[in-house]
A and B are shown apart, each in its own frame.
Chain A
């Protein structure tokens, strides 16, 4: 089975590497879109540093929203493990992505063994609209909605904060009395949110509410990323460059700007002349219709449409061992291949690409 193509023609991997390296060496401004594990991210960033490119994630917009909470504000957080063991009051904020529903159900099936050790109660801060999959989760958790008529999620958070601070408000929230009673008896309430569930302004309002509650008691929040691999890539980018993704390299020095280094914007504005798509996730392909040269590193059995070079790569934890961020534990985890395959890892292919570039340059990976 072929793992490399030039255009639509299958070729030996070495030919594809050589061809891709030529494209990289001759381009003016390469941009990299990532969707891979920690080591795939490390190697791609190291390559971008050598070439002077820019790095973004395939889910760059929602990741930027999550990153902005930290770069603009900060907050108070705890881990999923601590929430499970210590929190008898969980408040979901907005819609939590389906990938985390198993985690929440596992919490619901367990009893806190630290802190007040009360049976767990659930609330849900919501806007008027809730998707059916989330509605099902909320019913399973028996979560009581905290919602105001016609209010957005951000407005609901603001109203809740005002109410808890004893400030006058023109409207009220459903179940607010019940919530205030629960809050008064819980030793370590935890708000759970995701970057895809609330806009940055709402996340900042939520953290303001949590700061208020910590003046006299204890409260924290669990951040469940919209995508675990995206958050893991952001963390790896931070230690390698000092910055989260949407970082570019000018003379090998990193520069962070979530607007300037938005890779899709750069492609659309023709600021970039080569797009390197790096995804170990099955079925993920680069956006169609891009008008610049494309190198595709994808988990695929066929060449990527429109790509000058396609190289098939494996997925960490499926085809090969690797390291991935896991929101189950709130940090990195070593993952073993479930079904080891012939597909090479992203880091191996990127390492070969770096080695095939003309001239001796430092590959920091």
Chain B
């Protein structure tokens, strides 16, 4: 099948300046304009913007904690039927089926679930495989498990740590490694209630910093394309900017991705001892080329916070709205907390909203700042269109700011920042840069050879409307969305790395599980056939 998309404004910063040109698809991939061939199908997209399919690098779309949130909060799902405009969380939909459809309708074609507990990898992949249309990927959590901590405590070689990390990544079908409040989940089981970068995990004598640095180095040595994805210590508390700044300073020439930086943008200034440190953090990011960040923007309304940072979630129980929570002390890297929360337009909510926008606008390089709400923690992903508008229109920010708490906004630089994202910067931040960050060379751009993941938006003054309802979306060359509605269902793949496992570490893991859990290793691993879909995974190569 040869498809021609004719007359659109092509925004593809990787391959040149924005221009009006045709885009050609042959079967699943993009090609240069063929000579002497007529298209089997032509779509007139004049008056439209043509971009590569968007990529979300950090969105909690599946796995044990997400499913527990569904179990805890059936009422939110029910609420979206009669009043969709007023309940953003409910708009996001809770099911895997809705997740795929709603993402596709906005022009997203690849989404990364950033927190897979290795022991529940099968559960995560079962859910991801049931998300239609889009491709998915997930990051394996490490840094709180007895095996990692014991290796570090016992001073084992970096080669052995590498073997273990490679085995976890390969056996869990992950695209990378994430560390969440390194060491804190283990410390919390020993009744530790706060944990910073240089605090030490009881029983192991290993600091959070050492865990992060060891995993960061291991990920780099193994050639895992995505740098270590770090959920730092002290998320959400006043003064957390110091922790984030210390973590940024600790990169020491090795790449590191810092997740949802907004939740660390808090200082202790002002009457309420809660202020913005976004400008300081943005400056630190701008000055350190090793660091990439995603924002975790807060938008207003009901949501639910889902995190494997069990210590932080436990401390947030008192803020739960409605008043019900799940706190889960999982095996090693598993577990976490589910705490429903409503972001109000009060002092705290207004400040959080502004800090996220400050980070977006003050970090100058769109290749190093990523578009996330940490779905659903800052807001459901269905709030993305409104967020695009806020980034692209200072007038929209002013309008919204006028509704918010003035005392909070006075403690930020937001009003003075007049930057407006261009379409090219949006294309970098949501397409080209995520592909580069994740090592996905086959997407994020519209050059010949890329897979035909394409989002086409009808130009209009209403930016949010434009991004909410893509005019057309192609996934692997299939037309899947027309006029903002899914027109065809298909099943994508879960992208994974497959580093070769070391035989000695497999033997060691067998012994470990038999001794410590009384179970053979096959209780914790699974074959691809367990997913029961044709070719559920697609391999992404490690860097050589």
Contact = CB atoms under 8 A, between A and B. Distances in A.
Interface of A: 38-39, 42, 67, 70-79, 81-82, 84-86, 106, 110, 113-115, 187-188, 214, 217-218, 220, 234-236, 238-244, 253-256, 321, 323, 326, 328-334, 347, 362, 364-365
Q: Which of A39, A330, A332 has the most CB of B within 10 A?
A: A332
Interface stretch (B19-27, B370-378, B477-485, B522-530): B522-530
Contacts of B77: 242-243, 254, 256
Contact of B517 (A74, A84, A321, A347): A84
B95 A332 contact: no
A123 B127 CA distance: 38
A239 B122 CA distance: 14
* Interchain residue pairs A-B with the least CB separation, the first 7: A242-B94, A334-B526, A334-B530, A78-B329, A74-B324, A242-B95, A242-B77
Given A115-B203, A329-B517, 16 more contacts: A71-B71, A71-B73, A72-B324, A74-B338, A75-B327, A76-B329, A81-B331, A110-B518, A113-B516, A187-B191, A217-B191, A235-B67, A238-B94, A239-B130, A242-B94, A332-B126
A331 B64 contact: yes
A195 B530 CA distance: 28
Contact of A77 (B98, B146, B324, B326): B326
A209 to B, nearest CB: 14
Nearest to B317: A211
A253 B191 CA distance: 44
30 contacts: A71-B71, A74-B72, A74-B325, A74-B326, A76-B328, A77-B326, A78-B330, A78-B335, A79-B335, A82-B329, A86-B189, A113-B516, A115-B189, A187-B191, A218-B190, A218-B191, A220-B329, A236-B126, A239-B127, A239-B130, A241-B95, A242-B70, A242-B77, A243-B77, A256-B77, A328-B519, A329-B119, A331-B120, A332-B123, A334-B525
A274 B62 CA distance: 33
Interface of B: 62, 64, 66-68, 70-74, 77-78, 81, 93-98, 119-120, 122-123, 126-127, 130, 132, 146, 188-191, 203, 314, 324-331, 334-335, 338, 489, 516-519, 522-527, 529-530, 532
Contacts of B127: 239
A84 B518 contact: yes
A238 B73 CA distance: 11
B307 to A, nearest CB: 15
A217 B191 CA distance: 6
B523 A328 contact: yes
A240 B95 contact: yes
Given A239-B62, A240-B96, A332-B122, A255 B78 contact: yes
Contacts of B331: 79, 81-82, 330
A364 B327 contact: no
A333 B523 CA distance: 6
Q: Is the interface of A mostly helix, strand, loop or mixed?
A: mixed
A122 B416 CA distance: 64
Contact of A240 (B73, B97, B525): B97
B78 A76 contact: no
Nearest to B526: A334
A39 B532 contact: yes
B333 to A, nearest CB: 12
B202 to A, nearest CB: 10
A240 B71 CA distance: 12
Contacts of B119: 79, 81, 329, 331
A238 B328 contact: no
A244 B74 contact: yes
Contacts of B94: 238, 242-243
Contact of A364 (B67, B190, B489): B489
Contacts of A330: 331
A347 B191 contact: no
A56 B265 CA distance: 46
